Structure 1
Amino acid sequence: MGNYRLTTLGTNTALLDLPFELPLAQWPRERLVFVPRGISRHVVRFVELSGEVFAIKEATDRYVLREHRLLRSLAEASVPVVEAYGTVTERVDHAGEELGALLVTRHLQFSQPYRALFTGRSLPHLRTRLLDGLAALFVQLHLAGFYWGDCSLSNTLFRRDAGALAAYLVDAETGEMHETLSPGQRDSDLQIATMNIAGELFDLQAAGLMSTDVDAAETALSLRPRYDSLWEELTSDLIVPSGENFRINAQLRRLNELGFDVSELAIKTVPDGLRVRFGTHVVEAGHHQRRLFELTGLRVQENQARALLGDLSRFRAKWESGTNQTIPEDLAARRWLDEKFYGTVGLVPPQLRVKLPDAELFHEISEHRWLLSEKNGQDVGRAAAVASYVGTVLADLPDTRVDLSQGPPTEEFAPIFD
């Protein structure tokens, strides 16, 4: 029997049944599950254990421990990354030969690699949403002091988020954590990302997944202005003229709308007013997520939370208008959750409901109902909207569930060139 050292942040003891004494590439196929993923320079396998799906990557002890530490640091800074679950180091096989270490991360449910987004029925304006999501991720990483060093679409996973795409960092092995990043470090990161993204878009064109009429280089270059615009809004000082302190609250609300909280303000008097610096080095994403969770217990993406809070607000206002009474927000939230939210997604056939998280389903059905009602000149009603959405949209969406059936090794599903 081989030897190893297993360290985890959870208590899934089924991990002990895995063949850690074998190189990852030699693990029996019956232990593996199929998960679409991006391209990796390392061997990666996925396993299902006691209802949980884990990604396992093989590298040296040094790289595995370092990447695990970086992923944990980014998660503590509320940056969207895959969850580092554990490490397996000091591995030795039956013959006493040393084996590479293993990094264990939780599979990000309902996520897709970028190539999968271009197959089947894709989102409208997919390239725009893809780069917007990546730019937002870059800003959050840089605010946390993280230099990625090898950003690419392949090192990122994407989740649908109320019409947008939320990006998550998957591969942190080339990254470096600093107190803050210099403009030169941020610029270098963006240059590397632009070159990598251009190459990946050319790859999509070669595979017939993206029109050759699209200028791949120009599309990749558009990452920079998206990043610069968001970075400027989050980090620039605000000059407040005398007597116009309301502008500070207005900017705080704007940052909240972008999904960020500010924990610190630095205010300095200047001629005829104030210079306000927001504590963006400790800005944390998830303002709307936390508010929705407090009211409903739902854990969703940031844009989804913003959309659901808006729907809840309209539900409450309509209730108050009908009763001519003030309805407490928590009471309205409980009734909205039962009658509106679960009442809607509960109409979706179970075999199709699993394609998307409930929050995304609710948002897309609401948007579909609005479009149908506009077309028909009257409200079509919830049941008709759900039936239409299921038949014309949801049925054609790719299934993001993990395939628990036995299949070939993961690499065979992620060719660099077709």
Structure 2
Amino acid sequence: PWMPPRDEGAGVIITRYVEFAFSYRELISSGGFGDRRSQMLDAFAVLLVELHLLGCFWGDCSLSNVLYRYDAGAIEAVMIDAETVELHEQLTAGQREHDLEIMIMNVAGGMADIAAEAGLDLDDADLSLGEDIAERYAQLWDELMHDEVIKSEERFKIRDRVSRLNDLGFDVEDYRLVPVADGNRIRMRVTIGGRSFHSNKLRELTRIQASENQARQILSDLQYYEAHHAADRPSLKAIAAIQWRVGVFEPLLERIRRESPSSDPIQGYCDFLHHRYLMSVTAGRDIGSELAFEDWLSLGRPGYDATQPRPGAADA
């Protein structure tokens, strides 16, 4: 994703408008921030991990240098200020730690400013927000980067490890198996790609562009459709994907656009899928899309409730 520093075009910055995004002040000032806090921490930590995997030292990571977007039942963080960025082949542990220290300090300052503007005592400011982000960063980094040692007869764990990383949204570009000295075990070392596993898969199957968690939910809807229309004929799945897009996805997306022209239609589709899932759970049976869609509209197009656990593929 980065151009070599010495390339002719490397000094050119191409910007784009971040649609359907909001600032941290909008998120924090909303009545439900307590429920969204955990999602904000995850989004910030994931963004830092992605940048560090790319060899990007931010140097000025702060709340005001990030925008947020709803991403199905989660929140996505987007870097919007890269003036202080340094690009390296690979970041050292010291560089990553320094970036985290800057983030912790800047985030604490941002939370202190918000408390002051609200007339709150400094003790009431969420000054530990940055430290909580750093803790989640460390957990995710360890999950991505640690070497896994497995017994020679347990090679099925190789697939398990790749699946876990894919579930987190990360592509596995490559992995190496290195024998351990005792000869009975092997060490698995993975090379992590970007966090675009589900979005890439959705684009390859349907040419639909969506963020990572949105893509995961939409893929589950496609799989639900395939199970009913191509379960016995795997060769028909490619055709089923086209039929689903033309006959299900695009008509509903157009109706969502008409109902709310200023909102993100892809997020609206994910909200609808979640509503259909909840209706099906309550009824104890599958609820059809048309009935669920009309009910969703009548209730004012409810989104994900941050206090509820997020279902995975069961959202289909």
- Please state which band the TM-score falls in when normalised by the shorter chain: 0.7 to 0.9
The whole-number CA distance in structure 2 between the counterparts of 1:375 and 1:170 is 41
**Residue 106 of structure 1 aligns to a residue in which SS?**
coil
Deviation at 1:194, TM superposition (A): 1.4
Q: CA RMSD of the aligned region, Å?
A: 3.3
The change in CA–CA distance for 1:162 and 1:209 in structure 2 (over 3 A counts) is farther
Partner of 2:137: 227
Q: 2:274 matched to 1:274?
A: no
Partner of 1:190: 100
Contact 2:112–2:126 at 8 Å: present in 1 too? yes
Q: 2:276 matched to 1:369?
A: yes
Gaps of 5+ in 2: 305-316
Q: 5 Å matches for 1:9-408?
A: 72-73=2-3, 105-118=15-28, 125-208=35-118, 216-270=126-180, 271=182, 272-280=184-192, 283-320=193-230, 325-326=233-234, 328-348=236-256, 350=258, 352-356=260-264, 358-375=265-282, 381-390=288-297, 392-394=299-301
Cα distance per residue 1:345-386 (max 9 Å; x no partner):
333361514311x32111111112233444466666434533
**Residue 180 of structure 1 aligns to a residue in which SS?**
coil
In structure 2, what residue type is equivalent to 1:348?
I
The whole-number CA distance in structure 2 between the counterparts of 1:123 and 1:382 is 31
In structure 1, what residue type is equivalent to 2:98?
S
The change in CA–CA distance for 1:109 and 1:216 in structure 2 (over 3 A counts) is same
The change in CA–CA distance for 1:394 and 1:198 in structure 2 (over 3 A counts) is farther
Deviation at 1:161, TM superposition (A): 1.0
In structure 2, what residue type is equivalent to 1:346?
E
Deviation at 1:265, TM superposition (A): 2.1
The change in CA–CA distance for 1:124 and 1:367 in structure 2 (over 3 A counts) is farther
| TM-score, scaled relative to structure 1 | 0.63
The whole-number CA distance in structure 1 between the counterparts of 2:114 and 2:58 is 23
Gaps of 5+ in 1: 1-70, 75-83, 88-102, 398-418
> Per residue, is there more helix in 1 or in 2?
2
Contact 2:275–2:302 at 8 Å: present in 1 too? no
| TM-score, scaled relative to structure 2 | 0.82
> Per residue, is there more strand in 1 or in 2?
1
Contact 2:221–2:273 at 8 Å: present in 1 too? no
Q: How many residues align?
A: 298
Partner of 1:24: none
Query: What fraction of aligned residue pairs are identical, expressed as a percent?
Result: 34
Contact 2:65–2:81 at 8 Å: present in 1 too? yes
The whole-number CA distance in structure 2 between the counterparts of 1:350 and 1:219 is 39
The whole-number CA distance in structure 2 between the counterparts of 1:330 and 1:149 is 45
Cα distance per residue 1:13-60 (max 9 Å; x no partner):
xxxxxxxxxxxxxxxxxxxxxxxxxxxxxxxxxxxxxxxxxxxxxxxx
